[in-house]
Amino acid sequence: MSNYKFNSAERFAVYLAHSEKCYLCTEPLDLKNMQVDHIFPESLIKDNQLLNETLSAFGLPLSFNLNSYSNWMPACAPCNRKKSSIIFKPTPIIQVVVQQAELNAKRAEALEKRTIRKKSIEKAFNLLQRASESGELSDEQKLELKPLIEYQEKVRLPEMKMEQINVTPVYKINRPSMKLRSALVEMYDGRCQVCGYQNRNTIQMCHIKPLSVGGEAQLCNLLLLCPNHHVSFDKGQFSINEDHSINGLHGRLTIVSRHDVSVDSIRWHKKYIFRHS
């Protein structure tokens, strides 16, 4: 058990900087249950001679800080418990781990500084930690976590952009594929379903119930909108009814027969996002 008390920004930075996976078994981690492990155990602080011998064996300076991003890695609970306070031998694979931690340390530090200034992120983290052990979340809780998920989407590593976001063991957010956008564009010939604006390059795929609150990456949860109406819909300036009439704007939503829009998603948007006048 670590004596160092990690804050939310530090945990998030370690998690994102190392591809959201356990560094020991390489399995994906969920944000709620991920743990931060010390490559070189924190217990070495109490044994200066052993600490110096260990650092020297790995070719590290004696000034190496055990409580820094150069020594912190994301881990799952089983691996963290199994590893415990074991002092690794300087094998090639562990040398790679140490080098990887050092390479990603500056990025993690930058992420921490960027995250710690965002009060909404800290609030969302606190809510996530208070969530039940099962990881089940209500719609209201998912809505409160939305700023955190959207922030993660912006700052995660490029290779993770299209990967599933694992918030809790049971709350996982799938990423939309380009195939879905292509299917929508073909259905509506690149036209906005609200105003009819046509441009296959700039037209946008809009989620009725956002992925960040548990919406599905499926056609039934998608609309094809121009940039202006996409922003307006996400801000709740208009919503759609089950008969595809529009609240907040004149007219009706254009719907083709093979586009079966989810009634549940429509109801969710109307309840939680639409700003009733």
- Left, alpha or beta for 226 (phi > 0: left; psi -120 to 50: alpha)? beta
CATH of the domain at 207: 1.10.30
SS3 content of the chain, % helix, strand, coil (to 5): 45, 10, 45
The total of other beta-carbon atoms located within 10 Å of residue 101's CB is: 22
One digit per residue, pLDDT tens: the chain, 277 residues? 568 999 999 999 999 999 999 999 999 999 999 999 999 999 999 999 999 999 999 999 999 999 999 999 999 999 999 999 999 999 999 999 999 999 999 999 999 998 877 788 888 888 898 888 788 898 889 988 988 898 998 999 988 887 889 999 999 988 777 889 999 999 999 999 999 999 999 999 999 999 888 898 899 999 999 999 999 999 999 999 999 999 999 899 999 999 999 999 999 999 999 987 6
Among 137, 166, 195, the domain boundary falls at 166
Contact criterion met (CB below 8 Å) for 98 and 60: yes
Split into its structural domains, the chain has a count of 2
Domain that residue 226 falls in: 176-272
Residue 213's contacts (CB-CB under 8 Å, 6 or more residues apart) are 139, 142, 143, 145, 146, 149, 272
Q: Are residues 68 and 141 in the same domain?
A: yes
**Residue 31 and residue 114 in one domain:** yes
